[in-house]
A and B are shown apart, each in its own frame.
Chain A
Amino acid sequence: MASLILQVDGLTVSFDGFKAVDNLNFYVEQDELRCVIGPNGAGKTTLLDMICGKTKPTSGSIKFKNHQLTDMIEYQITRAGVGRKFQNPSVYEDLTVYENLDISWPKQRNVLGSLFFRRDRKMAEKVESVATQIFLQDQLRTKAGLLSHGQKQWLEIGMLLMQDPDLLLLDEPVAGMSAREREQTAELLNSISKGRSTVVIEHDMAFVKMIAHKVTVLHQGKLLAEGSMDQVQSDPRVVETYLGH
């Protein structure tokens, strides 16, 4: 058995009595690319929110490497090596593409350190290479607010690449993208998920097929099925609740 990077056990969160995630177990292996699918309200985004610290679980445990993430707050979880991309592209619109990537560089993230931080060659090279990877090498001086929707999605992925996390959490990375952009993004994900573990939430089945190693299906906050794309697609329960219509 390959070693697990993420172990979620008995995870539950309830909002005013409604259980968005209900006693869920979820395991991700080292270097795995996992897709999570499920109908609206299945608890996919809530699951990622709890892993990255945005939402506090009601009960259960989330172990990432040696850390118990339920005891940590957002920036500590980020520093431990978890990177999160949100459903709506969240970039810093008043900063340039370069500056967005710059402040994602995981050095000197305290007050005094950042006051005296100087950009060095190593960072400049990393910014260049990431910008090339996310197809924005010619837009480094553009304000992020002026980018197209798809480019913002890429920039946010780029910001995560600067952070170089061990676990990458991506929430609908191709939402709002054209067919061409989707293909480019699939390639991008395949290349960046090498050497790290990735969890992707996606609705687009064609896209999931392009990238997933293994698929987890959630339904009403619970695990419905898990396995390869083919296994999952032929599972009658999955067909009934989700893929059927």
Chain B
Amino acid sequence: MTTPATSTPATNIRSNLWGVGSYLLLALLLLVVFPLAMDVFRLGLAAKYMSLAFCAVGIVLVWGYGGILSLGQGVFFGLGSYFMAMFLKLEAAANADSSSGTALSAFFGTAGLPDFMAWNSVEVLPWWWEPFHHVSFTILAILIGPPLVAFILGYVNFRKRVGGVYFSIVTLALSAIMAIVIIGQQGYTGGVNGITDFKTFLGMDLDNERAKFVMYFITAGLLLLCVAAGAFILRSRLGRVLVAIRDREDRVRFSGYDPAMFKAFIFAVAAMFSAIGGAMFTIQVGLASPSLVGIVPSVEMVIYAAVGGRLSLIGAVYGALLVGWAKTFFSENFVEYWFYFIGVLFVVVVMFLPTGLAGLLDKVRTRMRRAEG
């Protein structure tokens, strides 16, 4: 018996139904409608936006409920993306020996080394690349590394009561640093070009249509899983403590909670979501690039969440898809106006729609229910 006695059974059931219903609708859209309605190219775009939606879902947890505006989700997306890229690149390099690349790498004595390292006169694989030969290590690194970084960074700051806009600035600086380090260490990271030109994932040819479908479904499944995990967190007591911290952090200490721990935890969860998104992005788009870890993409991720609704996990997914498509539309037609458009969009949403599209929908729903009597 765990039914909370908080709300009348009727409204409780109704809001549960609404939540489950919109979750199923999203699942239907991602798992059935998109794959049936789109060609491989468009489906690839959807997969790309879905990868970014992981970050938006995390931002709902961290910003919408935790009250922490992180402008550094690109860092965690980037870590996941680069970890995956390192694995894929090593696999590509190992296989290149048996094909056309052989002559060149044999000539330079750089067999098994990623091509960009050879171009940058790095002759020995750096030690920290070594473990990425193994897929299990890579997956663990993606799932554990970024949350660990986020947890430590968050806890150190939150314990010292660095919060609000100051923490946003810390995360902003982190995004900048990450991009600068990647660009600066070209020999080890591929520099400004990023890491690209992968061939296979565990022997599966990534260019083949079937592989694209498989990866699409894996991404959609993981995204739905993250939304469900987020919903579980928000419905637990931890979710209520987060809201309490957002509204009155000082008071929460006197209810016997350590707010720093809770904030660091939710920041770590969001980092894990972002990292999964980054890894799936790299597998499907075939690229890990510093242009996806810096300040601009980090801010864009916040905009996805803001447009979709910063209090709605499902809204965040729609936000990422909509803004993603808008971005593609703009860059196909008038590239130079994209930044103005997204800037205006952000201002408009924050000023007139602080709870985004999901909030708008809620308002309509309440009004309709009232009209019903």
Residues of A within 8 A of B (CB): 52-54, 73-75, 78-79, 83-84, 86, 90-96, 98-99, 102-104, 106, 108-111, 114-119, 121, 124, 127, 140-141, 159, 163
Contact = CB atoms under 8 A, between A and B. Distances in A.
Contact of A117 (B1, B236, B256): B236
Nearest to B242: A114
B243 interface: yes
Contacts of A119: 2, 4-5
B236 A94 contact: no
A103 B240 contact: yes
B254 A78 contact: yes
Contact of A106 (B241, B253, B256): B256
Given A75-B258, A79-B256, A159-B255, A102 B7 contact: no
B243 A109 contact: no
A98 B8 CA distance: 12
A58 B61 CA distance: 39
Of A73, A83, A90, the most chain B CB neighbours within 10 A belong to A90
A94 B247 contact: yes
Contacts of A92: 243-244, 247-248, 251
Contacts of B233: 115
Given A78-B255, A86-B251, A95-B240, A110 B261 contact: yes
Contacts of A163: 255-256
B87 interface: no
Contacts of A110: 258, 261
A121 B250 CA distance: 30
Contacts of A102: 4, 6, 237, 240
Closest 4 CB pairs of A and B: A74-B253, A78-B256, A117-B237, A98-B6
B29 interface: no
Contact of B2 (A98, A109, A118): A118
Contacts of B262: 111, 114
B265 A111 contact: yes
B237 A103 contact: yes
Interface in B225-267: 233, 236-238, 240-241, 243-244, 246-248, 250-251, 253-258, 261-262, 265
A45 to B, nearest CB: 14
B253 A103 contact: no
Of B236, B255, B256, B265, the most chain A CB neighbours within 10 A belong to B256
Interface residues of B, number: 29
B238 A115 contact: yes
Given A75-B256, A106-B256, A95 B243 contact: yes
A75 B251 contact: no
A79 B256 CA distance: 5
A98 B5 contact: yes
Given A75-B256, A91-B248, 17 more contacts: A78-B254, A84-B254, A86-B251, A90-B251, A91-B251, A92-B247, A92-B248, A92-B251, A95-B240, A102-B4, A110-B261, A111-B261, A111-B265, A115-B236, A117-B237, A119-B2, A140-B6
Contacts of B6: 96, 98-99, 102, 140-141
A6 B241 CA distance: 30
A94 B243 contact: yes
Contacts of B248: 90-93
Given A114-B236, A114-B238, A117-B236, A93 B247 contact: yes
B239 to A, nearest CB: 9
A96 B261 CA distance: 24
Contact of B257 (A53, A75, A98, A159): A75
Interface in B1-49: 1-2, 4-8
A114 B7 CA distance: 20
A93 B7 CA distance: 16
Nearest to B244: A92
Interface in B259-301: 261-262, 265
A136 B238 CA distance: 24
Contacts of B243: 92, 94-95
Contacts of B258: 75, 110
A109 B238 CA distance: 9
A80 to B, nearest CB: 9
23 contacts: A52-B254, A54-B250, A75-B254, A75-B258, A83-B254, A93-B247, A94-B243, A95-B240, A99-B6, A102-B4, A102-B240, A103-B240, A103-B255, A108-B237, A109-B255, A109-B257, A110-B261, A111-B238, A111-B261, A116-B236, A119-B2, A119-B4, A127-B5
Nearest to B6: A98
Contacts of A118: 2
Contacts of B246: 94
A196 B255 CA distance: 18
A65 B7 CA distance: 40
B15 to A, nearest CB: 12
Contacts of B244: 92, 95, 103
A53 B241 CA distance: 20
Nearest to B243: A94
A124 B5 contact: yes
Nearest to A81: B256
A53 to B, nearest CB: 8
Contacts of A83: 254
Nearest to B11: A141
Nearest to A97: B6
Given A94-B247, A115-B233, A119-B4, A74 B238 contact: no
